[in-house]
């Protein structure tokens, strides 16, 4: 083995960012359940507060357990630095806070997690950050949505819930022409299936709550700085390119170079808004990530088998899974997620609303709830739950028509998953 050899993905998933605890020898990463950290002396404290040295101060700003999670996800994505926060939505918020000034715009794919659509349409309005929607099925709509006020483009690599695969190369080319960073939410794919940095992403966000943690037990989020964007080119990102009064006039991009974005999210966003991740949750998420490659492959293999079963079932009208050869996103899936098309997809039951309600009521192995990316198989009928408040027309536009059922295929034996759907579909 030459010294040049870089560790592979599975090795990084287990080791990146971690080493035996220098004080105790503990092999698993300890949970540093402490609010604060003792300074060596007054000079050390001053250097920490002035960003002249790295180190621990207070767990809202950083924590050694969280630091291992940050380094691990950054390594898996191929970025320069990470920042762990309390949830996926907190990650998105801190990213936007670092990029946007009041009155600015960003362009977002219309095909996003419902909570993100809500955050962009409503919560961000309070800051006068304005979303302009684009259609991933018409790439030119991204170009058309760009204006002089645009500060970023936001997409999901594999979009929740409908199994839409984004043409990241085409969208990153548009971002580059516009001189703005491409932000990719890589929650559904995880870096095991897709590495957005290889397709021009500048910033990656995760809801670690889902497949990264993978066990349905901890909420968390991660931001990854890809280290690819020049923040000082034209003064459009003053948080990064102008002196910061809170830190004695430091210019973050000048001082921290290709990981300045992650630093800005920490020292200007996390510090002041405070959505810190508990070190206990960081520990749970780290434990989950150790088996990410094994789990994701099994999730995909099971999902493929379930999608094939459903597409041949007489009670099923249609199945939207990019792993199926006839699917409209199949070619994009072969390019962007060749190991598998993820584990979350939608299908339509014959009999509409009532048949959807019946299916989620009759399943036994599946859990009827609003989450994805658990070891357990999960099911939801959006029209009667998450999208209940919308009109019928709005439901259909947002992919939540009366017949639509979404599943997140778990890690049980695929024969048992299929048998459960089969018995629920034939129950009367």
Residues that bind ligand PLP (CB under 6 A): 87-89, 113, 115-116, 156, 160, 185, 187-188, 207, 209-210, 219, 221, 372
- Three-state SS letters, the chain: CCCCCCCCHHHHHHHCCCCCCCCCCCCCCCCCCCCECCCCCHHHHHHHHCCCCCCCCECCCCCHHHHHHHHHHHHHHCCCEEEEECCHHHHHHHHHHHHCCCCCEEEEECCCCHHHHHHHHCHHHHHCCEEEEECCCCCHHHHHHCCCCEEEEEEECEECCCCEECCHHHHHHHHHHHCCCEEEECCCCHHHHCCHHHHCCCEEEEECCCCCCCCCCCCCEEEEECCCCCCCCCCCCHHHHCCEHHHCCECHHHHHHHHHHHHHHHHHHHHHHCCCCCHHHHHHHHHHHHCHHHHHHHHHHHHHHHHHHHHCCCCEEEEECCCCCCCCCHHHHHHHCCCCCCCEEEEEECCHHHHHHHHHHHCCCCEECCCCCCCCCEEECHHHCCCCCCCHHHHHHCCCCCCEEEEECCCCCHHHHHHHHHHHHHCC
Of residues 94 and 418, the one with the C-beta less far from ligand PLP: 94
The least CB distance from residue 89 to ligand PLP, in Å, is 4
The least CB distance from residue 339 to ligand PLP, in Å, is 19
Of residues 210 and 266, the one with the C-beta less far from ligand PLP: 210
The least CB distance from residue 247 to ligand PLP, in Å, is 29
Taking CB atoms, the residue at the shortest distance from ligand PLP is 88
The least CB distance from residue 360 to ligand PLP, in Å, is 19
The least CB distance from residue 277 to ligand PLP, in Å, is 10
Of residues 210 and 387, the one with the C-beta less far from ligand PLP: 210
The least CB distance from residue 333 to ligand PLP, in Å, is 17
Of residues 156 and 420, the one with the C-beta less far from ligand PLP: 156
Of residues 164 and 239, the one with the C-beta less far from ligand PLP: 164
The least CB distance from residue 84 to ligand PLP, in Å, is 12
Of residues 65 and 187, the one with the C-beta less far from ligand PLP: 187
Of residues 236 and 406, the one with the C-beta less far from ligand PLP: 406
């Amino acid at each position: 083995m030459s010294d040049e050899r870089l560790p592979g993905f599975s090795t990084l998933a287990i080791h990146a960012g971690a080493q035996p605890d220098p004080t105790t020898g503990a092999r698993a990463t300890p949970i540093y359940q402490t609010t604060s950290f003792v300074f060596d002396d007054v000079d050390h404290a001053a250097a920490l507060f002035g960003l002249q040295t790295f180190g621990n101060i207070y767990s809202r700003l950083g924590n050694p357990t969280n630091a291992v999670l940050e380094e691990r996800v950054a390594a898996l994505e191929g970025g320069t630095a990470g920042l762990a926060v309390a949830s996926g939505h907190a990650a998105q918020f801190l990213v936007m806070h670092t990029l946007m000034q009041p009155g600015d715009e960003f362009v977002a794919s219309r095909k996003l997690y419902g909570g993100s659509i809500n955050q962009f349409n409503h919560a961000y309005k309070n800051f006068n950050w304005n979303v302009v929607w684009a259609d991933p099925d018409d790439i030119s709509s991204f170009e058309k949505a760009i204006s002089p006020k645009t500060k970023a483009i936001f997409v999901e690599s594999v979009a929740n819930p409908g199994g839409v695969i984004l043409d990241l190369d085409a969208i990153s080319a548009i971002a580059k022409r516009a001189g703005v960073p491409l932000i990719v939410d890589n929650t559904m794919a995880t870096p095991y299936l897709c590495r957005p940095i290889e397709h021009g992403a500048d910033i990656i966000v995760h809801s670690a709550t889902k497949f990264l943690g993978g066990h349905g037990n901890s909420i968390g989020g991660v931001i990854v700085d890809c280290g690819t964007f020049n923040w000082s080119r034209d003064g459009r990102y003053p948080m990064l390119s102008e002196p910061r009064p809170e830190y004695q006039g430091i210019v973050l991009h000048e001082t921290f170079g290709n990981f300045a974005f992650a630093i800005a999210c920490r020292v200007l966003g996390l510090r002041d808004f405070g959505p810190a991740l508990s070190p206990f949750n960081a520990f749970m998420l780290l434990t989950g990530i150790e088996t990410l490659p094994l789990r994701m492959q099994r999730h995909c293999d099971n999902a493929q088998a379930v999608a094939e079963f459903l597409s041949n079932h007489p009670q099923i009208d249609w199945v939207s899974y990019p792993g199926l050869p006839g699917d409209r996103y199949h070619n994009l899936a072969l390019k962007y997620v060749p190991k598998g098309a993820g584990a979350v997809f939608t299908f339509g039951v014959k009999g509409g609303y009532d048949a959807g309600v019946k299916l989620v009521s009759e399943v036994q192995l599946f859990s009827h709830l609003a989450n994805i990316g658990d070891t357990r198989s999960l099911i939801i009928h959006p029209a009667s739950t998450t999208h209940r408040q919308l009109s019928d027309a709005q439901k259909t536009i947002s992919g939540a028509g009366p017949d639509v059922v979404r599943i997140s295929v778990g890690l049980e034996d695929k024969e048992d998953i299929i048998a459960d759907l089969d018995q629920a579909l034939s129950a009367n």
